[in-house]
Structure 1
Amino acid sequence: MAETSDPNEVTFRMSRASRTVPRSRAALHAVLGEWGVSQDVLETAELVLSELVTNALRVRVPRDRQVGVRIARFLADGLLRLEVSDAGSGTPEVQKPGNEEVGGRGLLLVEALAHRWGVAEREGGIGKTVWAELKASDIVAEPEGREVAAIAVRTGQYVRVWGQWHAVRAVRMEPFATGGLAVVLGLDDGPALRVRAGEPFMVRDGGVPSAREGKDDRPPEC
């Protein structure tokens, strides 16, 4: 998983597989849980992201091309933005299938649920990005210190493990052999940590507190 140090966004890439849709939805659920959105907004966001990722997976591109996902919040505007990028050409359009047709309603649903949506050229690569914004007036600013799920940890933050605070140098996401998502945290000292996406961590965005603080903490388990 490739993360930015911006506390208002999370980005990651996923392989083109049947489990990509539920995995992206699980990632969204973890992030929005930390951002304090209401259940209604969460459910709407899950539907919208599912449709965007599903459409991206249907695009004809080489199998090794991944799907990019970005989840961002705009506190001043009370907006949640979802972006899904793929390497395919063309511009998706809203279809109006007949009553007898089974498919073709993905973007119709997105248009109905989103505050606004659109398509843009993919930054730094070929293809496109389909985005949608949802109104989320209850979205909250990130507190200074708090407990978050592993999937919400970002590079540049400090996590408390092994009784000490460690700077996070790298974050990536990969599947567990038994199912579900794993987050691998590369730290400034010691081995990398591989934990489940929902594993709780205590994190800070600023400087490291005293070495005695949190000395009784135990390392998270995989």
Structure 2
Amino acid sequence: MVRLAVSMGLRPRVDPLGAAMAAPNEVTFRLTRCRRSVPRTRALAHAVLSGWGVSQDALESVELALSELVTNALRVRVPSDRQVGVRIARCLEGGLLRLEVSDAGSGRPEVRAPGDEETGGRGLLLVEALAHRWGVEERTGGIGKTVWAELKAPDIVAEPDGREVAAVMVRPGQLVRVWGEWRTVRTVRTESHAAGGLAVVLGLDEGPALRVHAAEPLTVRDDGVPSARERGEGTPG
């Protein structure tokens, strides 16, 4: 079982893996100590990074490094009910992806050079080769440790900020935040609201229309929408 949590307070959507997803700057989840946890981690990481627009090369490097860190954590000798914590975060200014894997075990993992006939022991060698930098920290409370790695991903960009406006002010062409995602407004019409007053019905590029009270605050962006000056509004006659 994987328990997933997302930051920034966005309303999550359900992804094909059955986990709650959003587009935050970090995602955390916990893993049970079983073999299925490694492929599950790769699948979750793939879904998150794809949503962040990470390039294929960076995505593959992150999946490989994260798999090695999780595999090492699952091999630590601790009671079977102790879970492994995983955190994936993006630093938009530095173009970095940070991976953190926490376990309840003692000691610090070290890079070693296995012999030619050894089939294992190369996990941290791979992490060291893939990462911009990596390290080990004690967990808060002194129980266990967190092994982290930072990988370069210069193609990640910040999600544009939006602003809140009353629904009656929304116009076609704007992007509106609906159910944790941005949707393009195709049509706008008004009608009587069941509770009295005016209702606004927004036709969206995907999914059902959104029907809200005219005064309902909505988060919008103006991508691709001409300004008042460009539309010729408010210019001297």
Alignment of 1:1-222 (within 5 A): 1-5=4-8, 7-123=24-140, 126-143=143-160, 160=179, 202=181, 212-213=201-202, 217=208
TM-score by length of 2: 0.62
TM-score by length of 1: 0.66
Match of 1:179 in 2: none
Q: Provide the secondary structure at the position in 1 that maps to 2:51.
A: helix
Q: CA deviation at 1:144?
A: 5.1
Q: Provide the secondary structure at the position in 2 that maps to 1:117.
A: strand
Is the Cα–Cα contact under 8 Å of residues 60 and 88 in structure 1 kept in the other structure?
A: yes
Provide the C-alpha distance between the structure 2 equivalents of 1:211 and 1:17, rounded to a whole number of angstroms.
50
Larger radius of gyration: 2
Q: CA deviation at 1:123?
A: 2.9
Provide the C-alpha distance between the structure 2 equivalents of 1:73 and 1:132, rounded to a whole number of angstroms.
12
Instruction: Give a deviation string over 1:100-159, Cα, whole Å, max 9, x none.
Output: 1111000011001111000001135611000000011101212458xxxxxxxxxxxx75
Q: Does the C-alpha gap of structure 1 residues 124 and 212 become closer, same or farther in structure 2, counting only changes over 3 Å?
A: farther
Instruction: Give a deviation string over 1:176-215, Cα, whole Å, max 9, x none.
Output: xxxxxxxxxxxxxxxxxxxxxxxxx7369xxxxx863369
Provide the C-alpha distance between the structure 1 equivalents of 2:208 and 2:78, rounded to a whole number of angstroms.
46
Provide the C-alpha distance between the structure 1 equivalents of 2:143 and 2:59, rounded to a whole number of angstroms.
30
Match of 1:198 in 2: none
Instruction: Give a deviation string over 1:47-88, Cα, whole Å, max 9, x none.
Output: 000000000000011111111010001111111101100010
Provide the C-alpha distance between the structure 2 equivalents of 1:45 and 1:3, rounded to a whole number of angstroms.
19
Which has the bigger relative contact order, CA under 8 A and spacing at least 6? 1
Q: Does the C-alpha gap of structure 1 residues 101 and 213 become closer, same or farther in structure 2, counting only changes over 3 Å?
A: same
Q: Number of residues paired by the alignment?
A: 161
Is the Cα–Cα contact under 8 Å of residues 7 and 25 in structure 2 kept in the other structure?
A: no
Provide the C-alpha distance between the structure 2 equivalents of 1:214 and 1:53, rounded to a whole number of angstroms.
44
Provide the C-alpha distance between the structure 2 equivalents of 1:124 and 1:140, rounded to a whole number of angstroms.
34
Q: Percent identity?
A: 72
Q: Provide the secondary structure at the position in 1 that maps to 2:5.
A: coil
Provide the C-alpha distance between the structure 2 equivalents of 1:65 and 1:203, rounded to a whole number of angstroms.
38
Q: Does the C-alpha gap of structure 1 residues 159 and 12 become closer, same or farther in structure 2, counting only changes over 3 Å?
A: farther
Q: Does the C-alpha gap of structure 1 residues 212 and 124 become closer, same or farther in structure 2, counting only changes over 3 Å?
A: farther
Q: Does the C-alpha gap of structure 1 residues 31 and 126 become closer, same or farther in structure 2, counting only changes over 3 Å?
A: same
Is the Cα–Cα contact under 8 Å of residues 37 and 140 in structure 1 kept in the other structure?
A: no
Gap runs ≥5 in structure 1: 146-157, 161-200, 205-209
